[in-house]
Structure 1
């Protein structure tokens, strides 16, 4: 990111820009989102918007990275390492499944796929802040659980990815293809519980 954006990444107007950009990107997609609409939604001038983000791609990446970071922080704040592994994994699976089928995650995924050839950096930014960052946190937790003797895992890298894939079963493909756009909490809970049951059947001690 250019040095200008890095210097100005705090403050009320910066937060306004992110909120406005999130709103417009979610409604109009990346291609359809205009700088005028984003500035209007953010309640700032175009000059102010450009002082933070001279390129729309940088703004989209910042929105995606910020949202993923907030999601990760929320999950981490709910995790108590002193709790049994099944309880920790159930909390994580429930939050992850809900995020994967959320309007935000689905819209960002569609934008990254649609713009893959022209702007591959969009997908890379989302991957690093979303799946890759989530995997890193999961690996850290699994290593601790293995050290405590709660789980028996030889390859925690693979296990972390297996866990996230289990949280996608049934619901993610439907969401990605637009077959189903609203998911009840009971559906999310069921997928999460099934994911944890399967994971513990393989790695539980």
Structure 2
């Protein structure tokens, strides 16, 4: 389809979506999820550079005009996939820190959930894709690694600061720095082998839990109190 034809299809889609009570163009959450699911399968199978918008339209089962109503390019699609995955994991982590369990138990659950996610096949493949294009597309990498308010390290840093206020932890000068340190400890000896292919499969859950147990113990040896 020519660029003129695609533009006409987009405009016609917008016009029709304003009739009959259908969601406005680009606002149907089911259609958006359908596109993201298809795009994720393509990116995971082919990598970012080898994937095309045509590949994604075929995989997602939508027209090219519909695809461009929702996403302007591959970068936009990939960033949306990253954000969707982050949001799902963030909700699980938020539930953990808001459960008001003992600090040791909360940190253990948080570390296992966060570590299992980062060591999963999808997350590892996504990180490899970003590393592969980081020099050409730093903005794409920024959307992947950015620490916004809805990310695990920020959530954990806020949790640690609250526990200090409650007397359950000793004072922490820089909660964000310590949060990232604790995250690294939870995946020590596992993350790099996974990222660079030495470890082909995600580690067994028992191994992740053992790693996290050691990390939490080291952390509490430094910052723990009788209330931890």
Distance 1:40 1:129, change over 3 A: farther
Contact 1:79 1:91 in 2 (8 A): no
Aligned length: 200
Displacement of 1:81:
4.4
Three-state SS of the structure 2 residue aligned to 1:179 is: coil
Whole-angstrom distance in 1 between the partners of 2:224 and 2:127: 32
Q: CA deviation at 1:32?
A: 1.6
Partner of residue 214, structure 2: 194
Distance 2:199 2:106 in 1: 28
Whose relative contact order is higher, 1 or 2, with alpha carbons under 8 Å and at least 6 apart? 1
SS at match of 1:30: coil
Larger-Rg structure: 2
Matched, 1:70 2:84: no
Contact 2:97 2:159 in 1 (8 A): no
Of the structure 1 ranges 152-161 and 65-74, higher mean CA displacement relative to structure 2 is found in 152-161
Per the TM alignment, residue 131 of structure 1 is displaced from its structure 2 partner at its CA by 10
Partner of 2:50: 32
Cα offset, 1:133, TM superposition:
2.2
- Cα pair distance change 1:131/1:190, threshold 3 Å: farther
TM-score (norm 2): 0.82
CA RMSD of aligned residues (A): 1.9
Q: 1:10 to 1:148 in 2, by over 3 A?
A: farther
Is 40-49 or 124-133 further displaced after alignment?
124-133
Instruction: Specify every segment of 5 or more residues in structure 1 that has no aligned partner in the other structure, as ranges.
Output: none
1:153-180 CA-partner distances (Å, limit 9, x unpaired): 2221221111111122011011011011
Q: Secondary structure of the residue that 1:32 maps to in structure 2?
A: coil
The alignment's TM-score, normalised by the length of structure 1, stands at 0.91
More helix by share: 1
1:107 is aligned to 125
Q: Match for 2:35 among 5, 13, 17?
A: 17
Shift, 1:181, TM fit: 2.3
Q: 2:179 pairs with 146, 160, 177, which one?
A: 160
